[in-house]
Amino acid sequence: MTQRVGIEVSRSIAIAVKLANVDVVSAYPITPQTHIVEDISELVANGELDASYIPVESEHSAMSACLGASAVGARTFTATAGQGLELMHEVLYVASFMRLPIVMAVADRALSAPISIWGDHSDVMAVRDTGWIQIFAANGQETFDNVLCAFRIAEDRRVLLPVMIHLDGFQLTHVIEPIYILESSEVDKFLPPHEYPLPLDPDRPITMGGLAPPNIYTETKKAQQVNLTAAKEVILQAWKEFGDIFGRYYSPVESYRCEGAKVILLAMGSFSETAMSAVDSMREEGKEVGLIKLCLWRPFPFAELRQAVKDADTLLVLDRALSFGGPGGPVASEIRSALYGLDKRPKVIGFVGGLGGRVISPSGFREIINRGIEISQAGSEQEFEMFGVRE
């Protein structure tokens, strides 16, 4: 029987990993990811999860060991954050191109220097183009559910791609929330055993990871692009089926109180939860504002996003990362590009805030929305504004 328990979100990930009956976990400790891997180690040490836990000496090796384990057909999980994700950087490309369905929880964290152990999306944006499926969770339940969905999506024969589940460092990893924890028998209905089609096996020797000369590299990249783009359909199916079984439905772009909204704020991760209360209070005041939560980051949900903003005049995008010397927030930049070809499109106004663990309160979100409306009416010479910075 499914139970709703108060539990730290990191711990719920460990339970999801156990429920998925993972074969190999390879990880290196980094704040704020540590609670996830500590709990998994404990489950392994107690015999509650039959897995090989590889306590590697770096994140580079953590992901490299995942490649090896996944290549022999093992169900494989890891978790990291911030600098760890950066140290994995080049390995991430290998996982996706080689079609290794590794699942990774990322406790999103700011990047050095200066060193910051707290949350933002600088690490995520730096790995945007690594070819992974990337899903953002906004709360504990979404995190738990999506870790299970991630295995299902990653291992689908039509997909065979690695998946990152993003959750904000501390602001989500370390909070205790009421979460419906599924029973193993229920999970088994949703998540079939993993059977990798082309594992390393002496009975059927294959060569993985060969050299691509110029006469074939482009074809390999086209295949990768088609594969990742097509994965969206499978993601939608998996979420639909998850919803049909467990009653909780997910979608790439979630709209909150967007009916008739001329001004829409777009946020990702746990901030979208806080932004909801700002939207609620402004709606009560009669302001036509709404919120969009971008849950699927890769493959990018072009159609769903265009549909969600089609009636808005102004779209405010909050980024928790900064593209230095560029157009500001990477998400705003992508969204401008996604909407540019439309005849009728909202004006996109970018904000950068919530860096390195800086909290944005509901009143802060109200400020952002009001400022956005102001810019929208008056115009601005700047590409974006940094929110909450002391001048």
Partner 1 sequence: MEKYAVFVPKLIAKRESFAPGHRACVGCGEALAVRQACKALGRDAIIVNATGCMEVIATPIPYTSWRLPWIHTLFENAAATASGVEAGLKAMVRKGKRPAKEIRVVAMAGDGGTSDIGLQALSGALERGHDFLYICFDNEAYMNTGIQRSSATPYGASTTTAPAGKLSIGQVTWKKNMPAIAAAHDIPYVATACPSYPFDLMAKVEKGVSTPGPAYIHILSVCPTGWRCAPDLTVRIGRLAVETGIFPLYEIENGKYKLTIDVPQLRPVRDYLKLQGRFRHLSEEKVLEIQNRVNVDYARLKEKVACSQKLNS
Partner 2 sequence: MTKPGGELTWKDLEIGAVMTEPGNASQYQTGDWRTQRPVHEHSRCIKCGLCAIFCPEGCIEPNEEGFFEANLFYCKGCGICARECWTKAITMVEEE
In terms of Cβ atoms closer than 10 Å to its own Cβ (0-12, 13-18, 19+), residue 244 is: exposed
CA 286 to chain centre: 33
The answer for residues whose C-beta is within 8 angstroms of residue 128's C-beta and 6 or more apart is: 134, 297, 298, 330
Give φ, ψ of 19 to 5 degrees: -65, -30
Residue with Cβ nearer partner 1 (187 or 296): 187
CA 248 to chain centre: 18
CB of residue 181 to partner 2, shortest distance in Å? 34
Residue 197 engages partner 2 in binding (rule: CB under 8 A)? yes
| Residue of the chain from 66, 103, 253, 264 that contacts partner 1 (CB under 8 A) | 66
| Residue of the chain from 1, 113, 206, 378 that contacts partner 2 (CB under 8 A) | 206
Span 82-101, contacts to partner 2 by CB under 8 A: 97-100
Residue 73 engages partner 1 in binding (rule: CB under 8 A)? yes
For helices 271-284 and 362-378, the axis angle rounded to 10 degrees is 70
| Residue of the chain from 115, 216, 223, 245 that contacts partner 1 (CB under 8 A) | 216
CB of residue 101 to partner 1, shortest distance in Å? 13
**Choices 12-20, 91-99, 221-229, 362-370 (CB under 8 A): range interacting with partner 1:** 91-99
Residue with Cβ nearer partner 2 (185 or 215): 215
Residue 198 engages partner 2 in binding (rule: CB under 8 A)? yes
Residues 241 and 252: their CA atoms lie apart, in Å, by: 15
Residue with Cβ nearer partner 1 (211 or 378): 211
| Residue of the chain from 207, 259, 286, 324 that contacts partner 2 (CB under 8 A) | 207
Residues in the chain: 391
Residue 215 engages partner 2 in binding (rule: CB under 8 A)? yes
* 3-class SS string, 276-310: HHHHHHHHHCCCCEEEEEECEEECCCHHHHHHHCC
Closest alpha carbon to 252 in 263, 264, 241, 237 = 237
Q: How far is CA 249 from CA 115, 238, 242, 256, in A?
A: 37, 10, 7, 14
| Residue of the chain from 197, 206, 284, 381 that contacts partner 1 (CB under 8 A) | 206
> Beta 263-267 vs 314-319: how paired, if at all?
parallel
Binding partner selected for residue 244 from partner 2, partner 1, none, CB under the kind-specific 5 to 8 Å limit: none
Residue 58: CB atoms within 10 A of its CB come to 12
Binding site for partner 2 (CB under 8 A): 97-100, 160, 197-198, 205-210, 212-213, 215-216, 219-220, 222-223, 226
Binding site for partner 1 (CB under 8 A): 23-24, 26, 50-52, 54-58, 60-62, 64-74, 76, 90-91, 94, 98, 193, 200-202, 204-213, 216, 220
